[in-house]
Amino acid sequence: MKRSVRAVYPGSFDPITNGHIYIAERAAAIFDDMRVSILVNPNKTYTFSVEARHAMASEALSHLSNVMVDHFTGLLVDYMRQQEAQVIIRGLRAMSDFEYEFQMALMNRRLAPEIETFFIITDANYSYLSSSAIRDIFQFGGSVKDVVPHCVFRCLRERFPAHPPGGKPHE
């Protein structure tokens, strides 16, 4: 009998970008059941509230029927066990991601040897894309329309209504 595999794609998603969506789509094509799980770290400040990050991710991923958006706080491996999930999904952009991701994967394996970390390489078009770059570019008046879903663009406009300072408003 085939065992169904549940995967979790954790991250801040502050906000979700087309790079994240690309990884979620590729993972959803492999795993039966997936959670895109938004991390709430009380020691970190975020640009968007967990509710806003959740709403943007849910809308952006609504075309994937086996993907559910969730959020969690605390250790990822504890959440994984609670969700009965076996696989952690992470995206890799460049070598610069690798060192951090490698360390995290080994640490998680030490904490929970039964859980596997699965890496998916980004699309070349998204290799430079990060949530922090989106926030910065938007605030300085640059165009982000083609690298974030429409719901994120809308939320960025609401979150930063006065940007760019003194410049023309985003269309």
Nearest-CA neighbor of 155 among 166, 144, 165? Answer: 144
Task: State the minimum distance, in angstroms, from the CB of residue 170 to ligand ADP.
Answer: 21
Q: What is the DSSP string of 122-160?
A: PPGGGTT--HHHHHHHHHTT---TTTS-HHHHHHHHHHS
93 among known catalytic residues:
yes
Among 36, 90, 152, 155, binds ligand ADP (CB under 6 A): 90
Site string for ligand ADP, 18-47 (x = CB under 6 A): -xx--x------------------------
Stretch that binds ligand ADP, among 7-15, 27-35, 52-60, 138-146 (CB under 6 A): 7-15
Q: Which helix (H) or strand (E) holds 21?
A: helix 18-28
Instruction: Decide if residue 149 touches ligand ADP (CB under 6 A).
Output: no
3 among known catalytic residues:
no
Task: State the minimum distance, in angstroms, from the CB of residue 131 to ligand ADP.
Answer: 5
Rounded to whole angstroms, the Cα distance separating 137 from 152 reads 14
Asked if the peptide bond before residue 169 counts as cis, ω within 30 degrees of 0, the response is: no
Task: State the minimum distance, in angstroms, from the CB of residue 162 to ligand ADP.
Answer: 25
Among 53, 54, 93, 135, binds ligand ADP (CB under 6 A): 93
If the CB atoms of residues 25 and 33 are measured against ligand ADP, the closer one turns out to be: 25
Rounded to whole angstroms, the Cα distance separating 74 from 139 reads 31
Instruction: Decide if residue 138 touches ligand ADP (CB under 6 A).
Output: no
**By rule CB under 6 A, what count of residues binds ligand ADP?**
16
Nearest-CA neighbor of 83 among 8, 10, 30? Answer: 8
Instruction: Decide if residue 116 touches ligand ADP (CB under 6 A).
Output: no
CB atoms near residue 128 (< 10 Å): 12
Give the active site residues: 20, 44, 93, 131
